[in-house]
Amino acid sequence: MDGSDESGPRRPDRYEPLPGLTELPAWVWRRTGRGPRLAALGALVLAIAAGAALLPGIMESKRERVEVERRERAERRAQLVRRLEADQRPRFRRSTSVPAPGAGVNERLATRAALVEELSAEMLADARARARRGQLDGPVLRVSCEPFPRTVDGVGADQDLSRRRGRYACIAVTAEFGGGEAATTGVIGHKYRTEVDFATGRYAFCKVSGQAGPSREQLATTPGVCGG
């Protein structure tokens, strides 16, 4: 009978606690055999090679997308410019309110005042027609004009016989505020611009179109025949 004692104390197995998340990859790598390590390295090399092969195609595809987006933005901008220019297309008129040869001061001033009233009525009709078509907010109540650019005295060419031509900034009024006991008055509406030749009765007017947004970029300028 063997006299050795096998019931004595045994040494516990060595235990390595699971590391934290940041140290886990290195811990797994140490416990992985040589064969799996080589396989993993081979897979990594293949992945890098595949990525290098695909990179030119990815970059080319990205450049194409950027170019397509650039062309689409340019086309949208061009469409907006065309719409604004069509919206601002000048309307040409010729009035019969012109002074007779040798007319006196009062008659000349009266014909100029009548011409301004006539062109205001033309702009009013234009704005109301646009409102009926749904191109402008309405209702359009009236048209109010002032000399352009503004001057301290506010005297326009219709009151200054030394000036043959006059430019005016007008508003097709859709709402008014203030009045009565209010200290501040004003109007809200759609902008128009006009230039008139009082000697011939010819004039042109344009609806001024603006672009909303923080850039305040003026995509379409007011035509010069309407006084810019």
Mean pLDDT across the chain, nearest whole number?
82
Total-model pTM: 0.66
For 21-67, the pLDDT digits (tens) are: 566 566 565 666 667 666 666 666 776 776 667 777 777 788 878 88
For 77-134, the pLDDT digits (tens) are: 888 888 888 899 999 999 999 999 989 999 999 999 999 999 999 999 999 999 999 9
The DSSP bridge pattern shows strands 202-207 and 186-197 to be: antiparallel
**Residue (of 185, 198, 147, 196) closest to 169 by Cα position:** 147
Q: Is the pLDDT of residue 165 over 90?
A: yes
pLDDT of res. 51: 66
pLDDT of res. 167: 96
Between residues 123 and 179, the one the model is more confident about: 123
pLDDT of res. 70: 87
Per-domain residue ranges for the chain? 24-83, 91-226
User: What are the φ/ψ torsions at residue 24 (nearest 5 degrees)?
Assistant: -65, -45
Burial 136-173 (b: 16+ CB within 10 A, else e): bebebbebebebbeeeeeeebbbeeeeeeebbbbbbbb
Q: Is the pLDDT of residue 213 over 80?
A: no
pLDDT of res. 214: 45
pLDDT of res. 212: 46
Cβ-Cβ contacts under 8 Å for 206 (sequence gap 6 or more): 88, 89, 90, 91, 192, 193, 194, 222, 223, 225, 226
pLDDT of res. 191: 94
Between residues 15 and 72, the one the model is more confident about: 72
192 close to 205: Cβ distance less than 8 angstroms: yes
Least confident of 65-74, 172-181, 204-213: 204-213
**Maximum Cα interatomic distance, the chain, rounded to a whole number of Å:** 155
